[in-house]
Chain A
Amino acid sequence: MSQTQASLRGGPEPLVSVRGLRTLFATERGLVRAVDGVDLNIHKGRSLGIVGESGCGKTVLSRSIMGLLPSTAHREGSVRYEGHELVGKSVGSMRRFWGQEMSMVFQNPMVSLNPVMRIGEQIAEPLRIHLGMSRSDARDTALQLLEEVRIPEPKRRLRQYAHELSGGMRQRVVIAIALSCGPAILFADEPTTALDVTVQSQILDLIAERRQDRNMAVVLVTHDLGVVAGHTNEIAVMYAGKIVERAPTNELFANVKMPYTRSLLRSIPRLDDDPHTRLHAISGRPPDLIDPPSGCRFAPRCAYARERCHVEAPPLQPTENPDHVYACWYPVGSAEFFEREEELVATGVHVRGRQ
C-alpha cells in the first residue's frame, strides 16, 4: 500500500484524487463490483486514458468519479475534487459540479442529444443554469462555442435539431455543451467509438486542442489503445473493476509490464504487419463482476499465469520508474515470463518477435 501511495505522488496537488473507490450495484443476481478499489490522481491540464475491454468498469469508474450514477449504485472510498470530498454528497449538491466543474462527453452522439430540443437551446441550458446568463447572452455564447468546436455555419445550427446534423457534428455539439461552463475536468467516454474512422481523429484532436487552450484535465475512456496513444499523458489499464497497470503513456508503450496490457497492445492492427497476419485476440471474456475470480482476476485468461496467480491477488507495485505501477506476479520481462514465452512459441501458440 505504501508503494502505491508513493507512486501516486508526483508533482503538485492533483485536481482529483481517487482513493479506494468502490462502486457496487445491487442487482437481482447479487452485488456487482463494477469498480473495486481504484486509486488515481488526475492533474490539472493533463490527460489520462482509462483503457480496458468492454465490461471492465471503465465507464462506471468515470461516472463514479463524477458521481453520475443511477440510484441503485453505491459508492465507497474517497473522491476529492479541489479539497471537496464528493463521495457521500447528495445528487442535489453534486449538481453544482456537474456541467460547471466537471462535464462529460458520451459515447454515442446519435442518442446523447435531446431529439426534440433545438441545438442552441441545449447549449444554452447549462449557461443559464450555472452562469445565470440571460437568454440572449446564452445564445451569443452558444454561437461562440459552436465556432470553438469548428462547426460550419454555426448560426444556422443553433436553430437545428440533432437529427439534422451528421454524427461528427453532433459530437462537436456535445463537446461544445461539455465545454460551455469552462469545466476543470472533462470526461470523454469512448467519444469516437460511434463515429466514422475519418472523423475520430478530428474529434480527438479537437478535445486535445481545447484541453491545452483551457488548461483543462481530460479523462479519455476507451477500449482502443491506439486512440489513447497520441492523446494522453498517462494511461491506466483497467481489468475487472481494478487498475492493473498505470504509467505515463510513453513509458507504458516502451516498457509494458502486465500481460493483459501487452495483449491489448498486440490486438491493435498495425500498418507494417504482413498481409493476412492474424489479429491477436484475447480469448475468453472479462469475468463476472458479481463473483470475480480469486487471486489475479486476469489469471483465468492469462497464458503466463502460474499457481500463485490463481490464489493470491498481486498488489500494484512500482517499476524502476515510480510513476509506472503494475499488478502482476510474473510481469513481462521476468524470468518466469520468458520461460513460459519459450514454451508458447515452441508449441506454436505465439509468434516470436511481435510485441
Chain B
Amino acid sequence: MLSYVAQRLTLAVCLLLAVSALTFSGMNLLGDPLVNILGPIAADTKNPNSIALIEAAEAEYHLDKSLPERYVRWLGDLVRGDLGVQFSSTGEPPVSNIIKERAPRTAVLLVMAQSLAVLISIPWALLAASRARRPADRISTVTSFLLIALPNFALAVILKYLLAIKLGWFPITYTANDPFLSRIYQTFLPALTIALPAAAVYQRLLRTDLITTLQEDFILMARAKGVSKWKVLLRHALRPSFFSFITVFGINTGALIGGSLVVETIFRIPGLGTTIVEAIIRDDFPVVLAVVMIATSVFVLVNVLVDILYSFLDPRVKR
C-alpha cells in the first residue's frame, strides 16, 4: 500500500510538471501579456516614453528573462504556495485570491454534477439491463444517445427554459452574494446540465457490463439459490460490473472541468471555468496556470481514488 502511494505521488508530480511546462511554454509562444498590463501603450513601440514603460513592465513581470528561467521562477513560487500576481495593470488582486474566491463555486458545481450523474445512472442502468433488448431498454438507449449527442449549451438552455422559466422550480441565475444554501440550490440546474450527459455515458457502460455479468454462471447459481430478480441484480450483478463505470468516472472528471466553462457562462456562475476563459483571452498566464494546476491535481486525485476503489470492489485486485 505504501509503495503504491509513493508510486502514485511520483506519477502525480511528473504529470503536474509536464502539464505546467507545456501550458507555460504554449502560452508564452503565442501570447503577449503586455497589452493587458499596459493597454494601448504596449503597441506603441516608437515612442521612447512607451518603450521605457514597456521595459519597466517587462522587468517587473520578469518578461525580459528567458522562458526556462521564468518557468523555474514560477515553479519555485508555486512550491512555496505563491501563485504570483496576475498580468494586469495593477496586478491586484493576487492570483491566489481569485482562486480562493472562485474555486469553491466550481467545486460545488462539479461535485454536485458527478453525484447527480452517479445517482441517476445506477438505477437507470439497472432498469435498462434488467429489460435488455426490450422496448424499455431501446427507449433508454435512444434517450442516452440523445443526451450524449446534444451540445451542453443546448441542454443548458432547454433545462433553464423548462425547469426555471416555465415551471419556476429553480432560480434562473446564480447570485454570488446569496447565502450558501441558496447558492447550492441555484447550482442544481447547472449541475444537472453537466450531470445528464455524464449519466448517459455512465449508464451505457454500466448497462453493458451488467448484461455481461448477468450471463455469468454465478448469476445462474444465485437464481438457482432462489434469490429474487432484483436481489440478483443488486447483490450479485452490480458490484462486479462497476469497473468501466468508475474508470470512465475518473477520466470524465477531467472533461467535466473543461465542460463546466460553458455551463458556468450560461448560468452566470463566476467559477474557474469562466475565470480561465477570461484569463486566456487576456494572456493572463499566472491565472491560466493556476487553474490548470488545480484541474490537473483534481484529476490525478480522483483517479488515485478510483484506483483504490478497484481493490474495494474486487478482492482479487491486490492493494
Contacts and interface: CB of A to CB of B under 8 A. Distances in A.
B222 A114 contact: yes
Interface stretch (A97-105, A136-144, A202-210, A284-292): A97-105
B221 A115 contact: no
A125 B240 CA distance: 18
B236 to A, nearest CB: 6
B314 interface: yes
B226 A99 contact: yes
Interface stretch (B109-117, B212-220, B301-309): B212-220
Interface in B182-216: 216
Contacts of B239: 116
A296 interface: no
A307 B125 CA distance: 57
A95 B227 CA distance: 7
A178 B224 CA distance: 9
B216 A111 contact: yes
A116 B224 contact: no
B253 to A, nearest CB: 25
B218 A114 contact: yes
Interface residues of A, number: 31
B26 interface: no
Contacts of A130: 226
Contacts of A112: 217-218, 220-221
Contacts, number: 75
A95 B313 CA distance: 28
B218 A115 contact: yes
A115 B316 contact: yes
A123 to B, nearest CB: 10
A44 B223 CA distance: 24
B226 A68 contact: no
Q: Is the interface of A mostly helix, strand, loop or mixed?
A: loop
B229 interface: yes
Interface string A143-175: 000000000000000000101000000000010
A91 interface: yes
Interface string A165-204: 0000000001001100000000000000000000000000
Given A98-B224, A104-B224, A174-B221, A115 B240 contact: yes
B228 interface: yes
Contact of B220 (A95, A106, A177): A106
Among A68, A115, A174, residue most surrounded by chain B Cβ atoms (within 10 Å): A115
Contact of A98 (B217, B225, B315, B316): B225
B217 A161 contact: no
A163 B218 contact: no
Q: Contact residue range for chain B?
A: 20 to 34
B220 A68 contact: yes
Contact of B236 (A96, A107, A117): A117
A129 B226 contact: yes
Contact of B224 (A66, A96, A114, A117): A66
A68 B225 contact: no
Contacts of B315: 115-116, 161, 163
A66 B236 CA distance: 21
A205 to B, nearest CB: 22
Contacts of A108: 217
Interface string A72-114: 0000000000000000000110011111100110111001111
Interface in B248-276: none
A130 B32 CA distance: 75
A121 to B, nearest CB: 9
A126 interface: yes
Contacts of B220: 68, 106, 112
A99 B236 contact: no
B311 to A, nearest CB: 11
A96 B222 contact: no
A116 B213 CA distance: 12
Contact of B228 (A95, A104, A113, A114): A95
Nearest to B237: A114
Contacts of B314: 115-116
A100 B226 contact: yes
- Interface hub of A96, A111, A161, A163 (most chain B Cβ within 10 A): A111
A114 B225 contact: no
Contacts of A98: 223-226
Contacts of A103: 224-225
Contacts of B216: 111
A99 B316 contact: no
Contact of A163 (B221, B224, B313, B316): B316
B221 A106 contact: yes
A68 B220 CA distance: 8
Contacts of B227: 95, 99, 125-126, 129
23 contacts: A95-B227, A95-B228, A97-B226, A98-B223, A99-B224, A99-B226, A99-B227, A103-B224, A112-B217, A112-B220, A114-B221, A114-B236, A114-B240, A115-B218, A116-B314, A116-B315, A117-B235, A117-B236, A125-B227, A126-B227, A130-B226, A161-B316, A177-B225
3 smallest CB-CB distances across A and B, nearest first, come from A99-B226, A99-B225, A98-B226
Given A103-B225, A112-B218, 5 more contacts: A95-B226, A104-B224, A115-B316, A177-B221, A178-B224
